[in-house]
Structure 1
Amino acid sequence: MLSVAAVLAESALRRPDHPAVVFAARRITYRELWDGARRYAAALRERGIGPDDKVALLLPNTPHFPLAYFGVLALGAVAVPVHALLRADEIAYVLDDSGATALICAAPLLTEGGAAAAATRTPLLTVMADEEDPRAPRLDALAARSTPIDRHVLRAPDDIAVVLYTSGTTGRPKGALLTHLNVVMNVDTTMLSPFEVTADDALLGCLPLFHTFGQICGMNTCFRAGATLVLMPRFDGPGALDLMVREDCTLFMGVPTMYVALLDAARTDPRRPPLTRAFSGGSALPVALLDAFRETFGCPVYEGYGLTETSPVVAYNQKAWPLKPGTVGKPVWGVEVEIARAEVADRIELLAAGEVGEVVVRGHNVMAGYLNRPEATAEAIVDGWFRSGDLGVKDDEGYLSIVDRKKDVVLRAGYNVYPREVEDVLARHPAIAQVAVVGLPHAVHGEEVCAVVRTSPGATPGPGLGAEIVAWSRARMAPYKYPRLVEFVDAFPLGPSGKVLKRELVSRLGGARGREPEDGAPPPG
């Protein structure tokens, strides 16, 4: 028997007076946070919530998230975090698909959340309201008047703890069923390595807590170690740098877009936080960006790999082995990662080192399945292996490199072009601050390689710079790889985890518009 709720409960016993959460001027100790979570549990229980009931959480990065999250888990109920930027119809889909028995919604999100709850007839509870809100009872007010439950409900290892919805890149979002064992093992394993979180650490909590990276790697691992989580409701580079300096943050976790923003902020702010290590995930981190961050902030950046369906961590660069930039390291303890033949769907055919194929995973981290989707579960978990949908390769030393998403590979004139490989080269161009490579429809080649660029300070976007980038790329990449098209943007469309939404870029840009290059690409052969 175990429970994810023990992550907070045990640290409250070990170090009750240590700050668990810093939020603006508030410093909340572990005793106060666990007491508050048990009060939330009591208030929910009074409204009929119990074991196995699914409770949706539409909450930003404030202390209300851990209070509600651990309050739900303390009851033996199931937490269903909801992306805080969804619209009413999208929230209603999650509520309906999950069968949520209640929605806990922050007052600033009630316009969308309230409409979704009404449409699905889901009982609604609010937090963060200044006054009693006529639309729904205030859960935080009810909790303040409640007597904390005595102890959290113990669960079986294979009981469901959390339902996390995928981003829906291949259709409607699917609810990944994570068990108590999935989450507890991932937290315990990664706390020791790669994250090596100790009770003396302070982590900047800038990743959204409704997402698996911020929730499990960030919040849960931090609380398991008895460390301090410095919450940031909305990320921006200057604000994050200032907050890390003021709160003496030793640990940073972020996605590549956050690293770009911190480097931009560091150009005008000479202060540096006492960071000892940083961890990147969510999408590929160009090696040039990794090097720049290490030089600027004086700490190593460890890149890793995970998925919602794998609780989430699969592999990471870790201190136990030499850091290998450009890779996502080796599998974490208790997890196996191999490369399988991507075109074979009904069985797993493993490939040798050096061969590109689909990344497959098995171990304590693999989800129980997709909620209400047995066919999708059967397609995703084959012969005991989870099929990631990502293309990768392992070298002779066991280091994993992610080549790209299967769906993002550009097929130009019969040749596979892996966007990450092209992005890694382009990231070294001095005029490029950030780049995403996509394939645009082309009448002759099928698809054409297009570099979508946000320029560095001082660089002027336009046809002249675009031609220069094409020529620079042509000298450094094979003829079929380099981008013939360059488009400039002020900002990239981002998903909930900070990933660049390439499908949205393709939709915006439409068909290939650049002139046909003189040299062309070599014919398929």
Structure 2
Amino acid sequence: MGVDVMKPWLEHYPEEIPQTINYDNRTLQSYLVESAENYPNKTAIHFMGKEITFQELHDSVKKFASYLQGLGLEKGDRVGIMLPNTPQAVIAYYGTLLAGGVVVQTNPLYTERELEYQMSDSGAKVLVCLDILLPRVNAIKDETKLEHVVTTRIKDYLPFPKNVVQPMLQKREYGIVVKPEHGGDTHVWINMMEEASSEYEERDVDPHEDLALLQYTGGTTGYPKGVMLTHHNLVANTQMCQRWLYKTEHANEVVLGILPFFHVYGMTTVMNLSVMMAQKMILIPKFDVDSVLKAIHKERPTLFPGAPTIYIGLLNHPKLSKFDLSSIEACISGSAPLPVEVQEQFEQITGGRLVEGYGLTETSPVTHANFVWENRRSGTIGVPWPDTEAKVFNPDTQEELEAGEVGEIVVKGPQVMRGYWNRPEETEQSLKDGWFFTGDMGYMDEEGYFYIVDRKKDMIIAGGFNIYPREVEEVLYEHEGIQETVVAGIPDPYRGETVKAYIVLKEDAKMTEEDLDQYCRENLAAFKVPKLYEFREELPKTAVGKILRRKLVDEEKEKSQNNKTE
């Protein structure tokens, strides 16, 4: 097959990865039905010692769908899921789809204000949440279209004696005990599942037209937007993922589920992929380094999608050598740049492969990744996935740029969203002729490998120079004493902005601002060297482990304002 000159990356595809895929014209939930038929007794979920087979999972999903329809859920109605990675999160997700509904994934850490906004904007009729979140939900319920709340407990799917101990641990951690009553518009999960029938009405769903998911973006600028993803968007991206990991065997892998399913990256690369390929998922509701290392040691996962902060956390554990991580064969890292040192160290310890990928909520989420087993490159996000086109445009003129020139990355493919929920103007700005404008600045080299330089809005303009935080961060990550870092542009009366580095040191490392300044001056052009350094115990992060640069910038702006008013 001749190589498309417009897609030079195709030349590097291993023969096992197809350039184009014949996608299934199916709904997401149909894969669960199929896996339960073909592998009824195979473990689908391992949750803190409890194992659930595909048949048991399917039975619970049917009951959940039936109960929702009994509450009056119509095709296209939205159901909020506000849960960590638990069996209930998987059951509620596929149960909503089986009932003909649309899932609205919601972060359990949301404040009342954030929750009220999302429930109002999505128009969700039902919300599924943990018992300890019920007071927060009830406080905003009347301001939204919520008609029903389903409440569940972590202990509902724990084996003995964990189901006895867990409520005590929860009380100690959160200081509250919530005992919801089953009745009226509040539905207690275990009562609901006992009452529910397995009979549900099959709703006619068009995979290309009908939404499966409303996934809200982070909202670092303005209010979060609901990204409309169809069944086809998500099925296509999951099938791409399946083909990319061509050495994995159907029904024979174990997937580590640390990435939260309320984030589209965890949803696609762990939950949807595991269900499609009949794989066992190890669900971990909260990232805790000890728990993760024990789970890897004992349960022997082969696939481990993650984020750099997760891998960094494991590598810096003082007792790392006591755990056997050799089962891990493949990891795709997303959500933030993967430092080369982390990649090399993790591969050395596990014997597996760790590569960087790239994606966005609006693209279901993956558009690019490095090849896991051959033709790999460090420091790059890799190449576009099958049927995915990518270009680099001049952000001002929107003309396509030559290889090596920095501009805005734009992408096109079957995984690209339908648009933003109830926001036609913003959809029009971001989606043009099928091309999605990512807001990320980067370039493509001559061979078709893509590199992210930074977010368009994160670029620092200091004294007329364009400075990309990622470039400075890469240099800092190479310092042996630094565990984590983020670089941001903060207000400066003379230069407009100035470069500030926030640093988390490794446990035994000792260094001063002067040490870092000298190190940076040896490795960076003078205008890129941070003018300020701040040492911190930890950095603010999203649930998926992405460092919140914007939060630090906002803190600095607030400080600056306060100084002016004093």
**TM-score, L = length of structure 1:** 0.93
Is 1:327 aligned to residue 374 of structure 2?
A: no
1:340 to 393, 399, 421: 393
Q: Is the CA contact 1:126–1:140 (under 8 Å) kept in the aligned structure 2?
A: no
Q: Does structure 1 retain, via aligned residues, the 8 Å contact 2:44–2:281?
A: yes
2:102 aligned residue? 78
| Cα distance change, pair 425–193 in 1 and its aligned pair in 2 (3 A) | same
Residue of structure 2 in register with 1:122 after alignment: 146
State whether residues 5 and 152 of structure 1, in contact with CA within 8 Å, keep that contact through their aligned partners in structure 2.
Answer: no
Matched position secondary structure for 2:523: coil
Contact 2:66 2:199 in 1 (8 A): yes
Mapped contact 1:43–1:139 kept (Cα < 8 A)? no
In the aligned structure 2, how far is the partner of 1:319 from the partner of 1:122?
44
Find the residue that maps to 1:20 and give its secondary structure: strand
Which residue is equivalent to 1:205?
Answer: 257
2:545 aligned residue (498, 504, 512): 498
Aligned to 1:230: 282
**How far apart, CA to CA, are the structure 1 residues paired with 2:280 and 2:302?**
10
* CA distance in 2: counterparts of 1:292 and 1:118, whole angstroms: 51
Flag the 1:154–1:226 CA change in 2: closer, same or farther, 3 A: farther
State the partner residue of 1:294: 347
Cα distance, 1:2–1:179 mapped onto 2, change above 3 Å: same
How far 1:510 moved relative to its partner? 4.8
Residue 280 of structure 1 is matched in structure 2 by: 333
Q: Which residue of 2 aligns with 1:364?
A: 414
Note the C-alpha offset of 1:152.
Answer: 5.0
Distance 1:154 1:420 in 2: 47
The more displaced of 161-170 and 195-204 is 195-204
Contact 2:123 2:145 in 1 (8 A): no
Matches within 5 A, 1:117-516: 117-129=141-153, 133=181, 136-149=186-199, 152-156=202-206, 157-194=208-245, 197-198=248-249, 199-265=251-317, 267-273=319-325, 274-319=327-372, 321-344=374-397, 348-460=398-510, 465-510=512-557
Whole-Å separation in 1 of the counterparts to 2:142 and 2:314: 40
1:419-460, Cα deviation, whole Å (9 max, x unpaired): 111111110111111110111111221111111100012123
Deviation at 1:319, TM superposition (A): 3.8
Contact 2:407 2:442 in 1 (8 A): yes
Corresponding residue SS for 2:344: helix
Instruction: Give the C-alpha shift of residue 69 in structure 1.
Output: 0.5
Mapped partners of 2:127, 2:392: distance in 1: 40
Q: 1:446 to 1:284 in 2, by over 3 A?
A: same
Residues 207-250 of structure 1: per-residue CA shift (max 9 Å, x gap): 11111011112111111111111000100222111111111111
Shift of 1:108: 2.1
CA distance in 2, matches of 1:391, 1:195: 30
Hey, what's the Cα distance between the residues in 2 that align with 1:479 and 1:490?
28
Would the alpha carbon gap of residues 171 and 63 (structure 1) be closer, same or farther in structure 2, given more than 3 Å must change?
same
Matched with 1:523 is none
Any conservation in 2 of the 1:177–1:368 contact (CA below 8 Å)?
A: yes
Q: Which amino acid aligns with 1:432?
A: I
Query: Hey, what's the Cα distance between the residues in 2 that align with 1:449 and 1:405?
Result: 15
Deviation at residue 163 of structure 1 after TM alignment: 0.3
* Deviations 1:277-324 (CA, angstroms, capped at 9, x unpaired): 111000111112211211222222111000000011100112475110
> Are 1:441 and 1:512, in contact at CA under 8 Å, matched by a contact in 2?
no
Secondary structure of the residue that 1:246 maps to in structure 2?
helix
Distance across 1 between alignment mates of 2:427 and 2:85: 31
- Provide the rounded CA distance (Å) in 2 between the counterparts of 1:35 and 1:29: 10
Q: Which amino acid aligns with 1:174?
A: K
Cα gap change, 1:412 to 1:512, in 2 (>3 Å): farther
Q: Tell me, yes or no, if the aligned pair for 2:330 and 2:372 is still in contact at 8 Å.
A: no
Q: Structure 2: which 5+ residue stretches go unaligned? A: 1-24, 157-178, 561-566
Q: Secondary structure at the match of 1:499?
A: coil
* In structure 1, distance between residues paired with 2:319 and 2:105: 36
Write out aligned runs for 1:58-97 (5 A): 58-97=82-121
**Counterpart AA for 1:496:** A
Structure-2 separation of matches of 1:196 and 1:152: 36
SS at match of 2:317: helix
Q: Deviations over 1:92-134 (max 9, x none)?
A: 1111101111112221221222222233251232232576526
Contact between 1:222 and 1:228, CA under 8 Å: does it hold in 2?
yes
Contact 2:354 2:372 (C-alpha < 8 Å) held by counterparts:
no
Say whether the 8 Å CA contact 1:212–1:311 is kept in structure 2. yes
How far, CA to CA, are the matches of 1:62 and 1:228 in structure 2? 14
CA contact (8 A) 1:58 1:103 kept: yes
Change over 3 Å in CA distance of 1:194–1:314 after alignment to 2? farther
Distance 1:510 1:196 in 2: 49
TM-score, structure 2 as length reference: 0.86
Deviation for aligned residue 1:143? 2.6
Q: Deviations over 1:126-150 (max 9, x none)?
A: 2325765267122442233222136
CA separation of 1:331 and 1:112: change in aligned 2, threshold 3 A: same
Instruction: Return the letter of the residue paired with 2:195.
Output: R
Q: Which structure has more helix as a fraction of its residues?
A: 2
Cα separation, 1, equivalents of 2:313 and 2:373: 30
Q: Between 176-185 and 259-268, report the one with greater CA deviation.
A: 259-268
Q: Distance in 1 between matches of 2:190 and 2:404?
A: 54
Take 2:373 and 2:324, find their aligned partners in 1: how far apart are those partners?
27
Partner of 1:518: none
Percentage identity across aligned positions?
36
The answer to whether the 8 A contact 1:252-1:277 is kept is yes
Question: Is residue 2:62 matched to residue 1:38?
Answer: yes
Preserved contact between residue 166 and residue 176 of structure 1 (Cα < 8 Å): yes
- The 1-side partners of 2:373 and 2:392 are apart by 23
Quickly say closer, same or farther: Cα 1:511–1:27, change in 2 above 3 A: closer
Q: Quote the residue 1:516 is aligned against.
A: none
Aligned residue for 2:315, secondary structure, equals helix
* Partner in structure 1 of residue 171 of structure 2: none
